Structure formats: C-alpha cells, structure tokens
Amino acid sequence: MIHRRPNGPLFSIYRKPTNKDDFIHYFSAHSKRTKEGVVIGFFLRALRVCSPEFLEEEMQHVCNTFKHLHYHRSKLTHVQRKAEKIMSRPRGEDTHKTQRIMISHSKLTEHLEALVGLTLKIATSSGKKIGDIIREKSSNHNKPLSQVYSIPCGGCDKVYIGETAQGLHKQRIGQHRSALQRHDTRSTFIVHVDSDGHLLKWSQASIIKQGLAPRQRKIGRSGIHSYN
C-alpha cells in the first residue's frame, strides 16, 4: 500500500449521477502515450485522494472502466504499477536526474523514446488543434483596419478596388495621393491617369468590407475594374 495519508477524515472519489465513465476508447486514433496518460491520471488520482479503505475499490473501478473501453488487463496492471511507483518515489527525484525535451508528436516519437528513454524523457505537444485555427481566424476578424475598398473613377464608369491592412481613411488614401504626386506607375490607377487622363474621386472612396483575414482580403485582384 502506497497511501500515506495520516488518520483523519475518509476520502473517496465522488462521481456525479450523470457520470458515464466514457473516456478515450482503446481503438481511437490517439497515440499510445495519450491513452496511457489518461489511464495513469485516474490511477494517480485514486492514489492521491482515496483513503486506504476506498483505494482498492477505486483502483478496481478504474481497471473495469478501461476494460470496457477495450484496454488490455495486462496493460492496465502495468500502468497501475507505474502510477504506484510514481507515488512511492520521493518528490523531485525524477526532475533532478532526468532531462526532458519537448517535441511535436509523430509516429517516430515512440521509437525515439525507446532509444533515449533512460537518459532523456520526451514530452510531446499535439501540434495545431482545431481550436487554435478558429481562434486565429476570430482574432483576424477583430482587426477593423483590414479592409477591402472601392474608389470610383471621376472620368468613366470604372472603379478602383483595393485592399489594405492599415485602414482606408487612416492610411491608404494618403498613400494613394502620395503615389499620385510621385507618379508611381506601379499603381494601376496612375496608369489609368496616363492612358485616359481620369482621376479617382477620393471623396467617394468607400469601405466594402472590413475585419478580414489577410487571405480573405487578398482573394480579389487590386486595380481598376469595370462595372459589368
């Protein structure tokens, strides 16, 4: 018995009435490390929380739960021993002796761990998660100065469509005006000035859409477009 809690109140694991003990199934696509990590977490919780009177029952409950999820009995026993070993060693022992490195998880991780296992512990990160991608997108939506805009031509029915990350009225119009002063022919509206003699109607510049991710903003081609 590993438990070292002094005599006092009794502790066991509380489960809500709605609890279904539904965790990662053995046949799920998660890595072996992740699955073992989940199981060992339950054993460790039992060892840390339960009073001796309840420990045996709780350990059995964890075993049964994961047996239902198709984990092998021998594997569960192995993980349980591992948890007991962790609880029995003096605190901080592991961190003094073992170095850790952090790498992204891949199929090679387990082979690598087998190679360096005794001297080096490998911790893995799971890489990009769906949540990260969604958060990234929403943060881009919060950039009001990321805009697509239009400026009509003063001499014909064409329109200049542009995009900017710095805001149309805050920066972009000023940049266009200075391009005009410099006669910078990399701007298509300057080419239009040269070929047709038309100037853009700056006063009618308007934002078509704002708060766009750079990828969305650059979907169209900036330049002089005709109305169809």
Q: For binding to Zn ion (CB under 5 A), which residues are involved?
A: 153, 155-156, 158, 198
Q: Considering all CA atoms of the chain, what is the largest pairwise distance in Å, rounded to the nearest integer?
A: 94
Q: Toward Zn ion, which CB reaches closer, 144 or 154?
A: 154
Contact present, 113 and 124 (Cβ < 8 Å): no
Which helix (H) or strand (E) covers residue 148, if one does?
strand 147-152
Q: Nearest distance from residue 220's CB to Zn ion, in Å? A: 19
Contact present, 213 and 140 (Cβ < 8 Å): yes
Q: Toward Zn ion, which CB reaches closer, 82 or 198?
A: 198
Q: In a 3-state reduction of DSSP, which class is residue 104?
A: strand
Q: Nearest distance from residue 205's CB to Zn ion, in Å? A: 15
Q: Nearest distance from residue 179's CB to Zn ion, in Å? A: 16
Contact present, 224 and 158 (Cβ < 8 Å): yes
Residues with Cβ within 8 Å of 193's Cβ and at least 6 positions away in sequence, in order, are: 180, 199
Q: Nearest distance from residue 127's CB to Zn ion, in Å? A: 50
Q: Toward Zn ion, which CB reaches closer, 158 or 176?
A: 158
C-alpha to C-alpha distance for 116 and 164, rounded to whole angstroms: 50
Q: Toward Zn ion, which CB reaches closer, 161 or 165?
A: 161
Q: Toward Zn ion, which CB reaches closer, 63 or 153?
A: 153
Q: Nearest distance from residue 196's CB to Zn ion, in Å? A: 5
Give strand pairing partners of 161. 150, 223
